[in-house]
Amino acid sequence: MRIHRSGRVFAAAALIASLAAPGSVGASSPAGDVRLSNDAPDLGGYISNYTLNTGKAYTDPVLDECSRSRGRQNEPSIAVDPRDTNVIVGSSNDYCAVYNDGDDANGAPIPSGPIWLGYYRSEDAGRSFSSSLVPGYPGDTSPYAARARIRTASSGDPVLAWDAHGRLFAGSESSDDPAGSLKTFGDVYVATYVNPAGPAGATINDGQEFRRSVVVARGSSAPNLLGKFNDKTAIEADRTLGRCDGNVYFSYSRFTGNGGVGIFFSRSTNHGVSFSHPAKISSGIHDVQFADIAVTGNGNVYVVFREFMGRGKGSDAIDYVKSTDCGATFGKVRRLTRFVPYDATDVSDPEAIPTTNSPDDPAAEEEEEEAGNARNCGDFGAHCLSGYTFFRRDTQVRATADQNDRQHEYVYFVYDPSKPGTQVKTGTTYGSIGVGTGSQSGIYSIRLNGRTGGATSPSLIDPESTGHQLFPDVSADGGTLHALWYDSRRDPCYSRTRPIGNCADLTTVPSLDVYAAASTDRGTSWSVASRVTDVRSNPNYEQFGGRTVPFAGDYLWVSSVGTFSYGVWTDWRNTVPGVDQRELAEDDDDNADVLQCRTFDAASQSWTGDTCPRRGGLDQNIYGDGTP
C-alpha cells in the first residue's frame, strides 16, 4: 500500500461536450465490465467467508458497513483456478469498513474502521462476483476469526496464487496497531483458502474455505514507519506437478529507518502451514522494489525486481535472481536491462491546510513523501508548484512463466519505462524523468532464456503513438501469453509535458482505459491491442489524504488458464464529483474534487469532517472483464 523511497481556468465548452459520453468512442471487449466490489445497498453487499463456505448466517458491523459504504478499493489482484476456469477469486485494498464506528458530534462518520483485504469470488467465469473480506479483520467475531493469527489493524498489497490442488494463497502487507498507537508494525502474512472437501472435492469449491493466516515476517513496533517495515508483496505457487509441486513462494521489500531497502524471500513446503525464515536476495543493491515471482516448467524459481538509481548509487534497471533448488537458495543478482524511467514527480508547494475538527481518514491511509519531492499532487498540503493534480506512478516490472512449458525455461517480463527519444521539456516543475522533463511511457516485453541467460531485446507490445501506458501485468499458461495495462490514448488532453488526464488549463478529465493483447508465439509477437474497459474514467479524483489527493494504487492484474484470461483494474466510473467547501471559488477549478459535505463552525474557526462519505464521492471500485 505504501511506498517509502530514499506522494486555473475551466475547460472549453467543446472539450466538455466531447467528454459527456466517455464510453462512446472506440470498441471495447464484447462482454460487459463486471464490478467485484459490491459495496452498495443495491448490489448484494458483503458476506462473511464463514457464510460463503458453510451457508450459516453471520454478519457484524464491519460487513454491514461494507454493504452500504460506496467506499474505496484499489490495487486489485485476480487468480483463475487452474482446475476450473469458472472459479475466479479477486482481492484489493478495501476501505469499505472505514466508517463503521458511528458519528462524531457534528454528524461526520468516524474513520476508525479497518482498511483490509477484499475477497471477491466468482463461480461463473467472472460474469458476477460475491464480495467478502479475508477473515481476521478488527471486529470479525465469526468462527473463522481465530484462524487468522495476525496482530495488525490494517491489511493491503494483496497478491494471489493457486496451487494445482484447489488451494488459494493470498499474500498481504499488514500494519498499524489495533490499540490505536503510532506503532506501524509492518508485518507480511499469507492466508490460505482450501476446498472444504480436500483436493479431491468438486472443483467449483476450490479456494472457498478460509483455513489460516500465517505471519511470514514481522516488522518492528516502531512509530511512524521507523525501524523495520515490510511492504510491496509478491506470491506464486508451483503447479508443475514436479519436484517442487505445491511449494508456495513469497517475496517482499523490507524498508529500514536508515533508508536501506532489500528484497526478501520465504517459501512454504507444507501448503502454507509455515514459511521459512526470510532471506535477503538482493545483496549489494541499495534501493529495490516491486518484486515479482515466476516459476518455470522445470520448477526453477525466478524473483525479479526494479533497481532504483539514487544518490549516486545503482541504476534504473530490471534485476533478477534464480533458484534451482525449489527456492531453498538463490544465485547472485543478475541485471536484465537498464531503462529510462517514467516516475511522475513534482516539487511540493504546500498551502495552508484548513482546520478540520475531526479527521476524514484513518491514519493508515496516509502516504509518506520526501520533503520537496512530490510523487502525487493535489490540494492544500498536497499542492505542487506546477498546479497539476495527479496520482503517483513509478516504472515497475512484472514477470511470469508458463508452468506447463517443459521444453523451455522462458521467463516473460513486462515493464513501463519512458520511450527512448520522447523526452521533452515540460515548462513546469512536473516531470517524468526528473523535475521539468517529460516523456511518453510504453509497455515493453522481454523474454529471458533461463538456461542460457540470453534475452530478447526490449520491444513494445503495442507501439501506439498517442497516450501513456502504465501498470502492466502478464500471465502465461498453455502456450499463450496475456498482457494487460492502463492506457491513456483516449485522453483528450494527452501531452508528454503533463500528467495523465491533466489539461493545459489545470483541469482534469476522464483519461484512463485498460487495454490488453495476447501472444501465441512465446512473446515474439503480440496481437493488436484491444480496449477492455467499457468506460473511460478520471483517475485524478481527490479521494485520499482528507479529500486532497488522488491515489490509484500501484498495479493491475491479469490471470489466465490456457486461452482463458481475466483482468482487473481500479476504476472511477461510479465516483460522484462535487465541491470541496474548504476551497476558495478561484481555487476550485480542477474538476478533481469529489462530493463531500462540510460546514464551517465560526466558534471554533474550523470545518467539520465530511458528513456524507457514503453518497458516492469515495466510490472507487474494482472492475474486471475477460481479456484477449
* Interatomic CA distance for residues 223 and 206, integer angstroms: 40
Query: Which residues neighbour 146 within 8 Å (Cβ) at sequence distance 6 or greater?
Result: none
Count of other CB atoms within 10 angstroms of residue 478: 14
Residue 374's beta-bridge partner residues? 346
pLDDT, position 312: 62
Work out whether the CA dihedral 8, 13, 18, 21 comes out positive or negative.
positive
Closest CA to 412 of 401, 396, 423, 397: 401
- Going through 223-260 in order, the beta strands assigned E by DSSP cover 228-237, 248-256
Entry pTM: 0.94
Query: Which residues neighbour 521 within 8 Å (Cβ) at sequence distance 6 or greater?
Result: none
Work out whether the CA dihedral 24, 29, 30, 31 comes out positive or negative.
negative
Q: pLDDT tens digits, residue range 159-168?
A: 999 999 999 9
| Ranges under pLDDT 70 in the chain | 1-30, 222-226, 258-259, 311-312, 364-372, 586-588
Closest CA to 418 of 391, 392, 438: 438
Q: What's CA 444's distance to the chain center, in Å?
A: 20
* 517 within 8 A of 529, measured Cβ to Cβ: yes
* Interatomic CA distance for residues 592 and 607, integer angstroms: 20
Cell readout for 386 is 506546477
Between the CA of residue 442 and those of 28, 75, 463, what are the distances in Å?
Answer: 20, 20, 8
pLDDT, position 89: 98
Between the CA of residue 129 and those of 45, 98, 121, 416, what are the distances in Å?
Answer: 11, 22, 5, 30
Count of other CB atoms within 10 angstroms of residue 51: 17
